[in-house]
Amino acid sequence: MIKQILIGAVLSLVLFNSCQEPELKALIVTGQNNHNWEASHEILSRILVNSQVFNVDIAISPGQGEEMSDFNPEFEKYDVVVLDYNGDAWDDVVKNRFENYVANGGGVVVYHAADNSFPKWEAYNKMIGLGGWYGRNEASGPYVYWRNDSIIRDMTPGPGGSHGQQHEFVVHHRETDHPILRGLPTRWMHSRDELYSKLRGPAENMTVLATAYADPKKGGTGRHEPVLFTVKYGKGRIFHTVLGHVGKEAPLAAQCAGFILTLQRGAEWAATGSVTQELPADLPNVAAPFILPSYKPYSLDELFRRAQTFKQGSSRKYLYLISNRIRLANEDPAKMKDFESRIIEVLESNATVDCKNYLCRDLSWIGSDAAIPILEQLQANDATKDMASFALQRIRE
Ligand code: ZN
């Protein structure tokens, strides 16, 4: 029941920029991954919003093994779709919709393990250019790497996808005049990350923007592996970054300035074919990784503080992220109790009526007797009567 409510409510949140409304619309698709997608999609969202050129919506799929038929993102409403998804197959209708979106000129960002996904979906593999794991082999296409200033397409049989231990490595730009890379240092030290290697795929209409040397001392291939590249699919533009692993530990790879700048610029290029973002004064360099501290998931304190000013018609982002955190807490009693206390605190505060009404819905399924007094108070107020009654009824059921 819980999941149904939230999955039904899923998805649309529009982020507003304080000064001028950004013109480009990005959709992050996530919800299943062998990585920590709960953290990564929020990090990606922050990175894109901070570029000042994107509004961001998030589409979260049902969990692994769950019914997928309600999952049908409206790709064509967006300038770019950012894939942070590695999981169950989409329904044919969704696959067709995505293929049409890209073929007709839609932009795509393939982020890290998204290139593990959908090994059997032919069009998808053409879009990502290269992928790894899940049975990929010589039938998927060549290994692609960089040697003597050119691209090697190597049809040697063998599995696709590997990486050595996580480590810092230098990213070398190969198309320095490409709009995504123009003006950036041509080499920079990336923070601790997995260096995806031995990827294979159709590799058609593909331009390698940057490579990194996979050092055998770190379990690497001894080759320069492609880490940033673009692919053309129909009229669509795809920017593929294999960088940015996010696991349970601090997301250092996704906090690296080089990762962030190339993602922001790559997303804009995929959306429009050009890059208008100005370069910051501080750029990454080759001496040491340049780690930006701010791209982390929101803390619960921050989410609840920011949610309190929500007004109907403005961004539901923070409220939506709260609902999602509740879903991810997976009915853990201690976490549910904490969410309930936090919501009660907001209901007792000067938060907006719209915020309170929204949170009554979350409270309706996690609330206990502790929530009844404040809900009874809100029931006495015309502006909050309906949602408070709804919550009370469900708590008392
Ligand atoms: Zn990874």
177 backbone dihedrals φ, ψ, rounded to 5°: -100, 5
- Give 324's pLDDT tier (boundaries 50, 70, 90): confident
3-state secondary structure of 200: strand
What is the CATH number that goes with domain 2-272? 3.40.50.880
57-107 pLDDT, tens digit each: 899 999 999 999 999 999 999 999 999 999 999 999 999 999 999 999 999
Q: What is the mean pLDDT of residues 29-58?
A: 92
- Give 2's pLDDT tier (boundaries 50, 70, 90): very low
234-252 pLDDT, tens digit each: 999 999 999 999 999 888 9
Ligand 1 centroid to Cα of residue 125, in Å, is 19
- The dihedral sign for the CA sequence 265, 307, 327, 16: negative
A 10 A CB-CB count for 369 gives 8
Average model confidence (pLDDT) across the chain: 91
3-state secondary structure of 104: coil
Ligand 1 centroid to Cα of residue 81, in Å, is 20
Closest CA to 102 of 271, 277, 224: 271
Ligand 1 centroid to Cα of residue 327, in Å, is 24
220-237 pLDDT, tens digit each: 999 999 999 999 999 999
Global pTM?
A: 0.76
Ligand 1 centroid to Cα of residue 225, in Å, is 15
Ligand 1 centroid to Cα of residue 290, in Å, is 20
Q: Token match 């997608």: residue?
A: 37
Ligand 1 centroid to Cα of residue 360, in Å, is 37
- Give 23's pLDDT tier (boundaries 50, 70, 90): confident
Ligand 1 centroid to Cα of residue 370, in Å, is 42
- Give 295's pLDDT tier (boundaries 50, 70, 90): low
Ligand 1 centroid to Cα of residue 391, in Å, is 41
Ligand 1 centroid to Cα of residue 246, in Å, is 6
165-193 pLDDT, tens digit each: 999 999 999 999 999 999 999 999 999 99
